Amino acid sequence: MAARGPGRVSVLLPTYNERDNLPLVVWLLVRTFGDSGIDFEIIIIDDGSPDGTQEVAQQLEKIYGSDKIFFLFPSGTAYIHGMKYATGNFIVIMDADLSHHPKFIPEFIRKQKEGNFDIVSGTRYKGNGGVYGWDLKRKLISRGANFLTQVLLRPGASDLTGSFRLYRKEVLEKLMEKCVSQGYVFQMEMIVRARQLGFTIGEVPISFVDRVYGESKLGGNEIVSFLKGLLTLFATT
């Protein structure tokens, strides 16, 4: 295996039914890391997708080599499982549906070096961060929910429900031990616990390109579970 530099980045990609997007994400990741000379590995963790995502992942492993990309069957939580196999010092968590563009990862790394941050969080709400593909209603819900979160939790980060982040490996391991929620609330809990434990958080504006929103509107159920999660965090942290 090639020598691992101290700046190696492990990208954890949990997937479900991403047969079409997975090759594109991987191609973009490989190109981004190649262009910026960053040592990397990509760990694909597929949760038994019925659409053939696993076969695609295995083809990609053959094309790019299994020291750069490998595929895991899930066992327990995708992140915890993936982390056991990650050899990098930094772990990037991102969505595999192309809403997160790998081009921001070198910026995360630059930011991390700049402030020696434990976590670098991509934010859609600050600087020239933003979203593509959301209508007014969706934006209103997003900003409203974020405002409520800021008032109640005062988290010290502008985007709590975002899931495009870079963590130091030890930091992610520590946080995964402590966090118990799921979905949006899980992402929020990570940041809140990180602050509790005294970890430092840097932010990088990112663009979030939502190509899925048209098919899956934000439902009442998700809003209710978000509120429940928010109130739980409010009362327990």
- Interface residues for another protein in 190-209 (CB under 8 A)? 196-198, 207-209
Is 23 a binder of another protein (CB under 8 A)? yes
Binding-site string for another protein from residue 54 to residue 93, where x marks contact by CB under 8 A and - marks none: --x--xx--x------------------------------
Beta-strand (E) ranges in 34-161? 40-46, 69-72, 90-93, 119-123, 130-132
3-state secondary structure of 107: helix
Write down the least CB distance from residue 118 to another protein, Å.
13
Among positions 143, 182, 183, 217, the unique one binding another protein when judged by CB under 8 A:
143
Q: How many residues does the chain have?
A: 237
Do 15 and 45 touch, CB atoms closer than 8 A? yes
Using CB under 8 A as the binding criterion, the count of chain residues that bind another protein stands at 42
> What φ, ψ does residue 9 adopt, rounded to 5°?
-110, 125
Left if phi > 0, otherwise alpha if psi is -120 to 50, otherwise beta: which for 116? left
3-state secondary structure of 237: coil
Where does this chain bind another protein (CB under 8 A)? 20, 23-24, 27-28, 56, 59-60, 63, 98, 101, 125, 128-134, 136, 139-140, 142-144, 146-147, 151-154, 196-198, 207-209, 233-237
